[in-house]
Chain A
């Protein structure tokens, strides 16, 4: 926004002008200016097209003329399916009537819960490197984003001691995202238990964004919301984008204590009204008949992870083996280049797009994010080109 010269700039709200520019945005422009030979490991969405049965259900929904608004919370039948799924697969019990809200992507659910919680000056703890929107969402709501750094030596898991140190009387909530974008990190049961203990002791709300939870390849641990004393203070956020390859449908949801869901709903009803009915019916089909295909995609991601982790390590980049999501976060600091230089030069010299770690917080310096939601052929070629690039340095 800084280059905006028009006098209208003065009209824009200060806190919006002050929002940091998304690091991904710049990089996106640069990649788009390149020719077609670019292999992109920069894409944070599945490379699979949405399974056909889901697409077919979407078409059917339109054929039946289901083109209206739905209840603000989302269709009851979808909420019931969501709650049944969370009960079966996560051991989480929510009442579909008042403990579940369907949103436009999990991004909206996150925005709602943050706005519902934050009074000006309230602090929200989150971990970095993290998804690009967290700090901005908190700031836009008038809150103070308090980053806690996760480190490579801990496989980018959140150290509960660091959380404890970040807590002040103004801490309202802690925001977790495991498996994590961009690091692929997960938390052990012990780490979750300790964080839960801290949350209870300090009476803070836990927001857990588990959008990648189905894409966990080893050591699946229960959601923090299942731990004793946690259900009553946790808002569980999830959606369909990653596990069912439904990013464009924009369906997410939040489940939690009815007071909080009701507060989220208050904002949602005035801003979004409801999520698209067509996409809601598609999501229902995903839960009813999508599991087999979802597992097939997970198996494919799992194998791609093995291939890319081995390939990057052999190419000379230290890369720990993340247990979830579809990202790896190799260390590039040893090349002597900054994240930005590495990503820019790799793109210009070898036509491979990766995202500089700094796009996910300043502590991402020295790393890049590689998404392996790309075909096996592309992954092999990308690794080959990365090796060539490193050898040329």
Chain B
């Protein structure tokens, strides 16, 4: 049941315990308890809204940054990654396979802010070999959600 609850919450973070209970045909109290447990165990880390890019507060600038790093003898990628992740500018951070190691999503008020962060903070970290910055121009889909409105098609109202 934990799996079902996590699925429903990741589809809609605002679904209430009562609605989950109805869907899964279980009691509301039981669902509430499980959600609390998932939260306290840190399986659920938080809840956030998905916002279309033009509606970002203050029209913030976002960039995807590819970073190549030199792994450390003891810490591997983790030590540097954790250090980078502590910057508030970094919205998301992933270790990836392929031509580079870390993929960051960085957010700032202006283009200059992001550029400044990359040149003065990120690129200067010991172990960072190179960075490539891609400014985000338009979001089409995020967290499984298509962000533009598709024309609705009306079905017949009664069919056998």
Contacts and interface: CB of A to CB of B under 8 A. Distances in A.
Interface of A: 22, 24, 27-28, 31-32, 38, 40, 42-45, 47, 49, 131-133, 181, 303-304, 306-307, 310-311, 353, 355, 359, 376
Nearest to A182: B160
B160 A40 contact: no
Contacts of A311: 22
B160 A306 contact: no
B25 A42 contact: no
Nearest to B26: A306
A178 to B, nearest CB: 17
A302 to B, nearest CB: 9
A24 B159 contact: yes
Contacts of B153: 49
A27 B158 contact: yes
Contacts of A32: 157
10 A-B pairs with least C-beta separation: A303-B23, A42-B158, A306-B25, A28-B158, A132-B160, A40-B157, A31-B157, A44-B159, A307-B22, A24-B160
Contacts of B160: 22, 24, 44, 131-133, 181, 359
A43 B154 CA distance: 12
Contacts of A45: 155, 159
B159 A47 contact: no
Nearest to B155: A43
A131 B24 CA distance: 29
A104 to B, nearest CB: 16
A362 B153 CA distance: 34
A24 B160 CA distance: 7
A131 B160 CA distance: 7
Contacts, number: 51
B43 interface: no
A359 B22 CA distance: 30
Contact of A43 (B19, B22, B25, B156): B156
Give the interface size bracket for B toward A. Answer: 10 to 19
Given A31-B158, A40-B157, A304-B23, 9 more contacts: A28-B158, A40-B158, A42-B157, A43-B157, A43-B158, A44-B159, A133-B160, A307-B22, A355-B158
Contacts of A131: 160
Nearest to A304: B23
Majority DSSP secondary structure for residues of B touching A:
loop
A49 B152 CA distance: 10
A42 B24 CA distance: 24
Contacts of A28: 156-159
Contacts of A310: 22, 25
Contact of A42 (B19, B22, B159): B159
A71 B110 CA distance: 62
Contacts of A376: 19, 23
A28 B157 CA distance: 7
A347 to B, nearest CB: 10
A386 to B, nearest CB: 16
B158 A353 contact: yes
A38 B22 contact: no
A355 B158 CA distance: 8
Contacts of B19: 376
Contacts of B23: 303-304, 306-307, 376
B24 A306 contact: yes
Interface string B45-77: 000000000000000000000000000000000
Contacts of B25: 306, 310
5 contacts: A28-B159, A42-B159, A44-B159, A49-B153, A307-B23
Among A38, A181, A306, the most chain B Cβ lie within 10 Å of the Cβ of: A306
A49 B154 CA distance: 11
Interface in B1-50: 19, 22-25
A181 B160 CA distance: 9
B103 to A, nearest CB: 25
Given A306-B22, A306-B23, A307-B23, A47 B155 contact: yes
Nearest to A45: B159
Contacts of A49: 153
A24 B155 CA distance: 16
B73 to A, nearest CB: 42
Nearest to A371: B159
